[in-house]
Chains A and B, each alone.
Chain A
């Protein structure tokens, strides 16, 4: 197990290194100079030069890359060009919207998908199964931002149960915050729930064909008992991987949904930074999201290997 962890740690480090190079590289080749962009077309050349040196733009690319990476390793994400505030602080503020939103959506997606997948697998080929698989077909075809708009139309504009957007902050109380995140979380969760339902269903169907399931039935368990006692536990392994992947996806996927609901999360931060050419913010937020995705995958792999020793040989 130790050898496996070391191997995975090395590949984790390589992934993060390459990711940081790619992100830095993409942003580096961005056309236009941030300093002259920020100061506008009428800026004096010496003002631009002063700002360039203040922002560190006159240093070599390598120096800037190194200071960016070493800064991030110590929790210093640099200072925003436009807001003059530490990027780490901006990210921390926005995190309190994006992270709960992703967790909320993940919970909803799991709560929908598990029962739906089990229901469909237990009634394989029957009308209930057909209804569930049909619904998942539809679920994966719906763009979540459009679904979000429809939710706003029905629940905010027509029924007035929720507000159409915005976020009151957690200071206004836990429930007020949760209420503001409910429609966005549903919109985010729906397509994910459809995917997860399919995985749950097909994973269970695979397990149902296994010998030990036949044995369970042979020793006198009803098909429902066999499903709950033996099938479910074994079917969960692939499902949990997808849940892990989905969390990362939800965190990143929230970007567009945050636009629909005007939520002050990481997604809106990225878009603001992009329009203001605040490259250090763009770089850092993207790197943070990539880091989160890679870390979640890593942890899922590790949990997996701890549960199932056979997987340790596969690196």
Chain B
């Protein structure tokens, strides 16, 4: 196992565990306000200090991890769920009408400035975690469609696919039974990368107030709240930011590590 894989796995694991743990236990309540105790530096009671409402920052971060992970994960799910079948279908009939339409639609979504459209969607339909998921998820679809199509196209030229065709299997059956398992590794690696981009996008949207709404804690909004007090309590702005960096870094390292571990050929190219 490579260093990337271990470090990335550990970092990601910490956040996933923290998010899961927050369902049953947090050091403190994230909704109870205690103004007298606001903007306190880290102490034994509040390991990472308190925010401007006197809420425990560690607890906020744990519940915020839940929001971030949920939004990014479902957005990746949308991208894979729709993108992979589209990519498989496009590759199965290369150069056909369907392929052409799918790829042109993809080009179009790629050409859209994703952030602007995400803001448009959340603004029009109202800010909420669900709309953030949709806005981020839509832009994952072409990513997965493209990568699936690319990988599938080269597989369609291989002998074992020829054999399957000669054996009388339909194109769609070949796509599911032979192509999909062979592109799975690639999809897992890309999924990790899109996951980390989703975390960043969610943070950006909730920073401008278009993500999960109060009182649900989110990392982006913690930063937005901290901004006005950055000179009084720098830690309140520093800690959520470092949390996002650590989570995204962890996922990126995990993606790199997985790529090396799952596909030995790529390792040679990169080294």
Known: A23-B120, A157-B230, A256-B207. A141 touches B115 (CB 8 A): no
Please classify the interface of chain B as helix (H, G, I), strand (E, B), loop, or mixed, using the class held by over half of its residues.
helix
Return the chain A residue nearest B223 by Cβ: A146
Query: Binary interface profile of B, 90-109, with partner A (CB < 8 Å = 1, else 0)?
Result: 00000000000000100110
Query: A138 within 8 Å of B by Cβ?
Result: yes
Provide 11 A-B residue pairs closer than 8 Å at the C-beta atoms, listed in order of the A residue: A27-B120, A30-B124, A137-B252, A145-B204, A149-B227, A157-B231, A256-B204, A256-B208, A270-B116, A282-B120, A297-B111
Known: A141-B252, A256-B207. A15 touches B116 (CB 8 A): no
> A145-B204, A157-B230 are known contacts; what are 18 more A-B pairs with Cβ within 8 Å?
A15-B108, A26-B120, A125-B271, A141-B246, A141-B252, A143-B200, A143-B241, A147-B241, A149-B227, A150-B237, A153-B231, A157-B231, A259-B208, A271-B208, A274-B119, A286-B116, A293-B113, A297-B111
Complex contact A153–B203 (CB within 8 A): no
Residues of B within 8 A of A (CB): 104, 107-108, 111-113, 115-117, 119-121, 123-126, 196, 200, 203-204, 207-208, 220, 223, 226-227, 230-231, 234, 237-238, 240-241, 244-246, 248-249, 252-253, 271
A254 vs chain B, min Cβ distance (A) = 10
Out of A146, A256, A290, which one reaches B244, CB within 8 Å? A146
Residues on the B chain within 8 Å of A293, using CB: 111-113
* Chain A count of residues within 8 A CB distance of the other chain: 45
Complex contact A286–B244 (CB within 8 A): no
Return the chain A residue nearest B238 by Cβ: A150
Known: A140-B252, A153-B230, A153-B237. A29 touches B124 (CB 8 A): yes
Q: How far, in angstroms, from A145 to B209 measured CA to CA in the complex?
A: 13
B7 vs chain A, min Cβ distance (A) = 10
CB contacts under 8 Å to B, within A19-33, are: 19, 23, 26-27, 29-31
Q: How far, in angstroms, from A11 to B113 measured CA to CA in the complex?
A: 18
Complex contact A149–B237 (CB within 8 A): yes
Residues on the B chain within 8 Å of A125, using CB: 271
Q: How far, in angstroms, from A138 to B249 measured CA to CA in the complex?
A: 7
Of the listed stretches A36-44, A211-219, A230-238, A245-253, name the one at the interface; the rest are far from the partner chain. Answer: A245-253
Complex contact A253–B120 (CB within 8 A): no
Residues on the B chain within 8 Å of A294, using CB: 111
Residues on the B chain within 8 Å of A15, using CB: 107-108, 111
Q: How far, in angstroms, from A143 to B271 measured CA to CA in the complex?
A: 28
Query: A49 within 8 Å of B by Cβ?
Result: no
Q: How far, in angstroms, from A294 to B248 measured CA to CA in the complex?
A: 29
Complex contact A141–B116 (CB within 8 A): no
B61 vs chain A, min Cβ distance (A) = 14
Q: How far, in angstroms, from A78 to B8 measured CA to CA in the complex?
A: 51
Residues of A within 8 A of B (CB): 11, 14-15, 18-19, 23, 26-27, 29-31, 125, 137-138, 140-143, 145-147, 149-150, 152-153, 157, 248-249, 251-253, 255-256, 259-260, 270-271, 274, 282, 286, 289-290, 293-294, 297
Complex contact A290–B207 (CB within 8 A): no
Residues on the A chain within 8 Å of B112, using CB: 19, 290, 293
Out of A153, A251, A297, which one reaches B234, CB within 8 Å? A153
Q: How far, in angstroms, from A256 to B200 measured CA to CA in the complex?
A: 12
Return the chain A residue nearest B111 by Cβ: A294
Complex contact B111–A26 (CB within 8 A): no
Q: How far, in angstroms, from A143 to B243 measured CA to CA in the complex?
A: 11
Q: How far, in angstroms, from A171 to B85 measured CA to CA in the complex?
A: 55
Return the chain A residue nearest B205 by Cβ: A256
Q: How far, in angstroms, from A282 to B116 measured CA to CA in the complex?
A: 10
Known: A15-B107, A143-B244, A260-B227. A290 touches B113 (CB 8 A): yes
Q: How far, in angstroms, from A23 to B204 measured CA to CA in the complex?
A: 21
Known: A140-B252, A141-B252. A27 touches B124 (CB 8 A): yes
Q: How far, in angstroms, from A157 to B107 measured CA to CA in the complex?
A: 44
Residues on the A chain within 8 Å of B119, using CB: 255, 270, 274
B158 vs chain A, min Cβ distance (A) = 23
Return the chain B residue nearest A158 by Cβ: B231
Complex contact A152–B230 (CB within 8 A): yes
A165 vs chain B, min Cβ distance (A) = 10
Out of B113, B123, B223, B248, which one reaches A289, CB within 8 Å? B113
Return the chain B residue nearest A23 by Cβ: B120
A99 vs chain B, min Cβ distance (A) = 15
Q: How far, in angstroms, from A282 to B107 measured CA to CA in the complex?
A: 23
Q: How far, in angstroms, from A259 to B245 measured CA to CA in the complex?
A: 20
